[in-house]
Amino acid sequence: MTAGRARGSGGRFPASLATPVLLAFAVFIVAPCIMLLVKGLEPTAETGEWPDFTNVLGVFDSKVGQQALNRTIRISLIVTVICLLAGYPVALFIARCGPRWRGLLLAVVIFPFLISAVVRAFGWTVLLGDSGLANKGLIALGLIDRPITLVQNEIGIIVGETHLLMPYMILSLLAVLQRIDPNLKHAAESLGASPVSVFWRIVIPLTLPGLLTGTLLVFSLAMTAFATPFLLGGGRTPILTTLLYDYAFTLFDWRLAASIGIVLLILGILFVTVHRFVSSRGMRSYG
């Protein structure tokens, strides 16, 4: 069958080709969200009316819920900033390398995707433990006298999530850095622009789409990560995802667990909304 026959009237593909995709989207995305909302807003014995926002508001009212919410947002922001500050120079260096070295370095960036988050978290548990390489190195350098706690706290979660999500930031930035025409920088330098001026006035504006995409990916994935915070944070530093797990599989309170899921969904929608607003303002500012 030729491409012309495959297309419907007006040069468009027939709607039947989109049916499997829409069906998969409905089954795996829409249906779970509906079930989450139904269960999380399920009425209690006191109210008896749907929707009941008691459990959702209870996440913000309880001390444990407030701490988990604040910790989730704080860790996600810290991880996003670290990935941005560390990932941008790496992506810039890879983009400026020759084809051979660029391919090798790109393979190094992609390689962690072949290892599960659980295995990487266990690896960091060994490295950051009291007898791990990190503490031994700090003691050998004379920076500390005794091992310090680097796991079962926020430090371990931040380190683990940064390692887990750094490739997303690097790949997002690298995709736009490789599309920058070198002649633009050469022209600016020939007109007397300094390297710093070229970077801030040409490179940064042109990489803004990749920068914003990377921050969206990293923040969203950091906020919803479970395996890494669970293994490196333990029960001492609960975040929303680990708190959801405890309510669902330890206390078997599915209504409250679904309410935490609704909170995560609301946070994700708010972040995407703010991200789109900042993106549109940034694009207009740089013209």
CA–CA gap between residue 251 and residue 267 (Å, rounded): 24
- In this structure, is residue 184 part of a structural domain? yes
- In this structure, is residue 31 part of a structural domain? no
Could you list the beta-strand ranges (E) of the chain. none
In Å, what is the CA distance from 177 to each residue of 8, 82, 110, 185, 202? 38, 19, 17, 12, 11
Whether residue 95 contacts residue 101, with contact meaning beta carbons closer than 8 Å, is answered with no
Of the candidates 94, 121, 134, the one whose C-alpha atom is nearest the C-alpha of residue 110 is 94
| Exposed e or buried b per residue across 201-223, where buried means at least 16 C-beta atoms within 10 angstroms of its C-beta | ebbeebbbbbbbbbbbbbbbbbb
- In this structure, is residue 190 part of a structural domain? yes
Please give the helix or strand (H or E) that residue 20 lies within, else none.
helix 19-25
- In this structure, is residue 22 part of a structural domain? no
Whether residue 59 contacts residue 69, with contact meaning beta carbons closer than 8 Å, is answered with yes
The Cβ-side half-sphere exposure at 40, using a 13 Å CA radius, reads 23
Of the listed ranges 23-27, 94-98, 270-274, 277-281, the one predicted with least confidence: 277-281
- In this structure, is residue 59 part of a structural domain? yes
Of the candidates 37, 29, 48, 32, the one whose C-alpha atom is nearest the C-alpha of residue 255 is 37
Please give the helix or strand (H or E) that residue 109 lies within, else none.
helix 99-110
186-239 pLDDT, tens digit each = 888 888 888 888 888 888 888 998 999 999 999 999 999 999 999 998 777 889
142-173 pLDDT, tens digit each = 888 899 989 989 999 999 999 999 999 999 99
Total domains in the chain come to: 1
- In this structure, is residue 280 part of a structural domain? yes
Q: How many residues does the chain have?
A: 287
Averaged pLDDT of the chain: 86
- In this structure, is residue 1 part of a structural domain? no
> At 263, which CATH number?
1.10.3720.10
CA–CA gap between residue 66 and residue 184 (Å, rounded): 49
Residue 162 tokens, joined? 């940064």
**Which residues does 58 contact at the CB level (< 8 Å), separation at least 6?**
65, 256, 259
Q: Is the peptide bond before 182 cis (omega within 30 degrees of 0)?
A: no
- Stretch 72-79: mean pLDDT, rounded? 96
Q: pLDDT class for 287, splitting at 50, 70, 90?
A: low
Residue 72 pLDDT exceeds 90: yes
Residue 28 tokens, joined? 């795996």
Q: pLDDT class for 285, splitting at 50, 70, 90?
A: low
- In this structure, is residue 12 part of a structural domain? no
Whether residue 180 contacts residue 243, with contact meaning beta carbons closer than 8 Å, is answered with no
Burial of residue 247, with CB atoms counted within 10 A of its CB: 0-12 exposed, 13-18 middle, 19 or more buried: buried
Q: Which amino acid is at 17?
A: L
Q: Which domain holds residue 200?
A: 42-285
